[in-house]
Amino acid sequence: MARTIDEINAAIAERIDASIQEEWLQATIVFEFFGDASQSKGRYLCMKNEYEKSFRTGYKMSLLFEELHQLMTSEGNNDWNRATYTLGADDQFTIELELDQMMADEVSR
Protein backbone atom coordinates (compact mmCIF):
# COMPACT_ATOMS: atom_id res chain seq x y z
CA MET A 1 0.00 0.00 0.00
CA ALA A 2 1.39 3.38 -0.99
CA ARG A 3 2.05 5.94 1.70
CA THR A 4 0.53 9.40 1.77
CA ILE A 5 2.54 12.62 1.71
CA ASP A 6 1.84 13.09 5.43
CA GLU A 7 3.08 9.58 6.23
CA ILE A 8 6.28 10.14 4.24
CA ASN A 9 6.90 13.47 5.99
CA ALA A 10 6.38 11.77 9.37
CA ALA A 11 8.84 9.02 8.39
CA ILE A 12 11.43 11.63 7.36
CA ALA A 13 11.04 13.33 10.76
CA GLU A 14 11.46 9.99 12.56
CA ARG A 15 14.64 9.19 10.59
CA ILE A 16 16.09 12.61 11.37
CA ASP A 17 15.38 12.17 15.08
CA ALA A 18 16.95 8.70 15.05
CA SER A 19 20.05 9.98 13.20
CA ILE A 20 21.01 12.65 15.73
CA GLN A 21 22.49 11.31 18.95
CA GLU A 22 22.34 14.47 21.08
CA GLU A 23 19.81 17.16 21.91
CA TRP A 24 19.22 19.52 19.01
CA LEU A 25 17.21 22.61 18.18
CA GLN A 26 16.69 22.34 14.43
CA ALA A 27 17.72 19.95 11.67
CA THR A 28 17.74 20.48 7.91
CA ILE A 29 18.15 18.12 4.98
CA VAL A 30 18.79 19.36 1.47
CA PHE A 31 17.86 16.63 -1.00
CA GLU A 32 18.62 16.88 -4.72
CA PHE A 33 17.13 14.52 -7.27
CA PHE A 34 18.97 13.90 -10.57
CA GLY A 35 16.67 11.56 -12.48
CA ASP A 36 18.03 8.13 -11.48
CA ALA A 37 20.40 9.48 -8.83
CA SER A 38 20.15 11.69 -5.76
CA GLN A 39 22.19 13.23 -3.00
CA SER A 40 21.35 14.65 0.39
CA LYS A 41 23.09 16.53 3.16
CA GLY A 42 21.92 16.81 6.75
CA ARG A 43 22.83 19.54 9.22
CA TYR A 44 21.56 20.28 12.71
CA LEU A 45 21.94 22.92 15.36
CA CYS A 46 23.22 21.38 18.57
CA MET A 47 21.32 22.48 21.68
CA LYS A 48 24.36 22.31 23.97
CA ASN A 49 26.59 24.85 22.25
CA GLU A 50 24.44 25.97 19.30
CA TYR A 51 27.06 24.83 16.79
CA GLU A 52 25.93 23.46 13.46
CA LYS A 53 26.94 19.86 12.84
CA SER A 54 26.30 17.34 10.09
CA PHE A 55 24.43 14.05 10.37
CA ARG A 56 24.19 11.05 8.08
CA THR A 57 21.11 10.96 5.93
CA GLY A 58 21.68 7.50 4.49
CA TYR A 59 20.05 5.32 1.89
CA LYS A 60 16.70 4.93 3.67
CA MET A 61 16.33 8.72 3.89
CA SER A 62 17.02 8.99 0.16
CA LEU A 63 14.34 6.38 -0.50
CA LEU A 64 11.82 8.46 1.45
CA PHE A 65 12.59 11.59 -0.55
CA GLU A 66 12.46 9.62 -3.81
CA GLU A 67 9.07 8.21 -2.77
CA LEU A 68 7.88 11.74 -1.95
CA HIS A 69 9.16 12.99 -5.32
CA GLN A 70 7.44 10.20 -7.23
CA LEU A 71 4.15 10.75 -5.42
CA MET A 72 4.16 14.52 -5.88
CA THR A 73 5.27 14.57 -9.52
CA SER A 74 3.38 11.52 -10.82
CA GLU A 75 0.56 13.60 -12.31
CA GLY A 76 2.83 16.26 -13.81
CA ASN A 77 2.21 18.69 -10.96
CA ASN A 78 4.66 20.02 -8.37
CA ASP A 79 7.74 19.30 -10.44
CA TRP A 80 10.82 19.72 -8.26
CA ASN A 81 14.36 18.42 -8.02
CA ARG A 82 15.49 20.00 -4.75
CA ALA A 83 13.80 19.79 -1.36
CA THR A 84 14.85 21.55 1.82
CA TYR A 85 13.23 19.86 4.80
CA THR A 86 13.60 21.66 8.14
CA LEU A 87 12.48 20.03 11.38
CA GLY A 88 12.34 21.67 14.79
CA ALA A 89 12.90 19.81 18.04
CA ASP A 90 9.18 20.42 18.66
CA ASP A 91 8.39 18.21 15.60
CA GLN A 92 7.16 21.16 13.52
CA PHE A 93 8.52 21.06 10.00
CA THR A 94 8.66 23.00 6.77
CA ILE A 95 9.53 21.74 3.35
CA GLU A 96 10.55 23.95 0.46
CA LEU A 97 10.38 22.42 -3.00
CA GLU A 98 12.28 23.95 -5.86
CA LEU A 99 12.82 23.22 -9.53
CA ASP A 100 16.41 24.05 -10.41
CA GLN A 101 15.99 24.36 -14.17
CA MET A 102 19.74 24.34 -14.90
CA MET A 103 20.12 21.07 -13.00
CA ALA A 104 17.06 19.62 -14.77
CA ASP A 105 18.50 20.61 -18.16
CA GLU A 106 21.83 18.94 -17.32
CA VAL A 107 20.05 15.70 -16.37
CA SER A 108 18.03 15.64 -19.60
CA ARG A 109 21.10 15.92 -21.83
Q: What is the CATH number of the domain that holds 73?
A: 3.30.500.20
- Give the Cα-Cα-Cα angle 86, 89, 93 (nearest 5 degrees): 30
User: Beta strands 82-88 and 93-98: pairing type?
Assistant: antiparallel
Domain count, the chain: 1
Task: Round the average pLDDT of the chain to a whole number and report it.
Answer: 89
pLDDT value at residue 1: 67
- Global pTM? 0.87
Is 62's pLDDT higher than 70? yes
Look up the domain containing 81 and give its range: 5-108
Phi then psi for 95, rounded to 5 degrees? -135, 125
Phi then psi for 63, rounded to 5 degrees? -60, -40
pLDDT value at residue 36: 79
Neighbours of 34 (CB within 10 A): 12
